[in-house]
Structure 1
Amino acid sequence: MEFKELESLLVKFRDSRGWKRYHTPKNLAISAAVEMGELLEHFQWGSDTEILEAVKNPAKKEAVADEIIYLTPLAHELGIDPDEALVRKMRKNERKYPVGKDGA
């Protein structure tokens, strides 16, 4: 499914429940930060190797994935296209960190 389709699905879900009034940029940014804290709980005491092994378990992977949802409605409310934002940021990073810089 394309991102715009997912975004539409999320907006329809939200609107059918009358939640739009709660989906302000401030509330969504706060919610995203809270979810990121919950995401960190999954990684708190594990090494990188342990974490990568743990997410091979579908239930663990789903639990981690569930914590990253609020960025989509935040992008929607702010009129940000995540696809465009990613491409633009990568172009900035390519200029800032050219191949060969810092020993790469």
Structure 2
Amino acid sequence: MDDLTTRVRAFAEERDWQQFHTPKNLVMALAGEVGELVAEFQWLTPEQAAAVMDDPAAGARVRAEVGDVMIYLTRLADVLGIDLEEAALTKLAEVAARYPADEVRGSADKR
């Protein structure tokens, strides 16, 4: 993650874009990219969605949108001073405590 963060930061700095990379702008850009990712799956059946990477053209579009989402999320975390990996691991531990595997296996019920 550190290498990606450094590279994304350098990319913005080389273009003098950091002035535009406010948390609000980055969140809005991230939401837009997530929307573009959602559009790739809109109207697909569950089976088609599961096999989307089998289609070279669709797979390339999905891969590109996931890349965009990751770049904006990485940049947002950097600007806010959030360790992305630590945040994800902390959240995973919280969810694991809330949903013990032996109690929720096979259930989609919320707690």
Query: TM-score interval w.r.t. the shorter chain?
Result: 0.7 to 0.9
Q: CA deviation at 1:99?
A: 1.9
1:5 and 2:3 aligned: yes
- Measured on the aligned residues, the alpha-carbon RMSD in Å equals 1.5
Cα distance in 2, alignment partners of residues 13 and 36 from structure 1: 21
Match runs of 1:34-73 below 5 Å: 34-67=32-65, 68=69, 69-73=71-75
Matched residue type, 1:43 = F
Q: CA deviation at 1:26?
A: 0.4
Name 1:95's counterpart in structure 2: 97
Q: CA deviation at 1:103?
A: 5.0
Cα distance in 2, alignment partners of residues 103 and 64 from structure 1: 29
Matched residue type, 2:40 = H
Q: Structure 2: 5+ residue runs without aligned partners? A: 107-111
Provide TM-score, normalisation by structure 1. 0.88
Matched residue type, 1:39 = L
Provide TM-score, normalisation by structure 2. 0.82
Q: CA deviation at 1:81?
A: 1.1
Q: CA deviation at 1:50?
A: 0.5
| Segments ≥4 residues shifted beyond 3 Å | none
Name 2:85's counterpart in structure 1: 83
Q: Structure 1: 5+ residue runs without aligned partners? A: none
Identity %, equivalent residues: 36
What is the number of residues matched between the two proteins?
102
1:20 and 2:22 aligned: no
Distance 1:7 1:103, change over 3 A: closer
Distance 1:70 1:87, change over 3 A: same
Q: CA deviation at 1:55?
A: 1.4
